[in-house]
Amino acid sequence: MKSPLHNIERALLNKCIINKGQLEKAKDIQLKERIRIEEALVKLGYITSSEIIQFFSSEYDLPIIELDKTDITPELINLIPVHLVKKHHILPVSKDNGVITIAVSSPPDLGFLDNLRFILNADFKCVLATPENIKKAINKYYELEPYESVDTLLKELTIRESPVTGVEIEQVEKARDEAQSVEEEGPIIQLVSLIINKAIVSRASDIHVEPLSNRLRVRYRVDGVCQEADVLPKQLQDSIISRIKILSKIDISEKRRPQDGRIGLSYHGKDLDVRVSCLPSIYGESVVMRLLEKSTILMNLKYLGFYENDYNRFQSIIKKPNGILLITGPTGSGKTTTLYAAINELNKGDTKIITAEDPVEYTLRGINQCEVNDKIGFTFPAILRTMLRQDPNIILVGEIRDAETADTAIAAALTGHLVLSTLHTNDAPSAITRLIDMGIKPFLIATSMQGIMAQRLVRTICSDCKEPVKYTPEQLLEMGFETDALRDFTFYKGKGCKRCNSVGYYGRIGIYELLVMNDTLRDMTYRTSATDDIRKAAKTFGMTSLKEDGLRKAKDGKTTLDEVFRVTGIEE
């Protein structure tokens, strides 16, 4: 194959496929719309996509493939990240003897070929297909057909006004919910599917469908931050929410009480569990869908963002034969992920592990997992009491919510079991005060507690648009950082690009505050010392605060100072 840097314009002129006047007009379109020269020529009608592909085939010795006659497996689709597929307009089409065949609409440059070889870690070859066929195949295999966008789909919807008023409206709405008209049902189903598919592709953890006074707002929570995705007409509100409730097996006729449900999905070979929550509001029912991957996720403590000192101290706690380890933080701070990573580390053939969770978020192979069901009395304390008769080595309690659960967990720890659980407190030392406030005797906490770890999640800087940034002393002071200590450090931020949806962040990493109990801290717990005194003592024994750990990660270029400040605020 010839070098992709071969001059396409000169070759097209030499073969008299286009003339100089046409080329100049195409260049104007190319600069204005920031597209490739061949795309501009096709747009102006000087050449067809098929002719361009035939030209590339003869110039670069590349075969042409008919994608509509090619069957592409999910395994091939998952070879290349979706953002690269869409950004570079490529598609994996086959794999033979370790060699991957990639469909392209124009010969890629050498730099991209090297990057792709690094990403795939395999040899590959290119074949040609028209841009239209590649786009159609991408939409097909990433489940974007028959509609590419919400705007396109809305044009297909026909909304019919109810011809009745007053007491008859409720009956008509119920009938419409149970059986949508033929004209409306198809597009509504497609619209809800598109909203969910877009959320999965966007790496969203939650979908928020929020009724407002004059519209229906859809937002995705990506990397812990809500981003507005779509604004839909108010007329579609009942139909969309009814469709979600039908999928999640929620009573569609009940609109005055909160309800919960679940949707099971399969997306490119991955099983997803969607938790649905409906909450009545003044403008209608607000719906939140949480996306969880049901299949086993092999989490490793090394990839959670621990520095070596904290990693070794955490390992020393979970390797103890008995006692309690608490993970604290607000909802969505990654507590469950850390617990599962610890369980995954401890899951050996000679160890019996039982969990009590509400709900079971991920299934773990080789572990006995129990799901709380308050309606039948299968509560945390009830499960814990039964667990102790099952002779486990390790017990995981999803959350300590009350004194009864805490008492039972401590009893299990004192009788030779390692207990892992979570608690809602802002930092590690506060967990001791919280347990005492719940009515737990200080001497029981002092004797059973092995360690407490508070954590948060901060967004990581997008690697594709990472650039240095300078902070003024005033900015540092406003965020609670010492200006003199940070004067010589180079910090980074994300400029914003297509990969990160112009926000400058892509993915998240944990920041941690690990308190390891020792004789001094046990004595302070027994004497019910103030939280501030326990915090000061813990720092002398190696505890790094959340903000200090976040600052370390900002210095290493993993996150930004703004993000650390957003999550931790100003330490008192």
Q: Exposed, middle or buried: residue 20 (CB in 10 Å: 0-12, 13-18, 19+)? A: exposed
Report DSSP state, residue 98.
T
Q: Exposed, middle or buried: residue 200 (CB in 10 Å: 0-12, 13-18, 19+)? A: buried
Report DSSP state, residue 260.
E
**Confidence grade of residue 145 (pLDDT, cut at 50, 70, 90):** very low
What is the DSSP code string of 519-531? HHHHHHHHTT--H
Measure the CA dihedral 555/560/562/568, to 10°: -70
Report DSSP state, residue 415.
T
Contact present, 335 and 454 (Cβ < 8 Å): no
**Confidence grade of residue 170 (pLDDT, cut at 50, 70, 90):** very low
Gyration radius of the chain over CA positions: 29
For residue range 293-344, list pLDDT tens digits in order. 765 455 678 888 899 999 999 999 999 999 999 999 998 898 988 998 899 8
pLDDT above 80 (res 215): yes
pLDDT above 80 (res 175): no
For residue range 57-114, list pLDDT tens digits in order. 888 888 999 887 788 887 787 777 777 787 788 888 888 888 888 999 888 776 777 7
In 347-472, alpha helices (H): 380-387, 403-414, 430-437, 442-448
- 197-216: average pLDDT: 90
Amino acid at 393: N
For residue range 44-66, list pLDDT tens digits in order. 888 888 888 888 888 888 899 98
Amino acid at 548: E
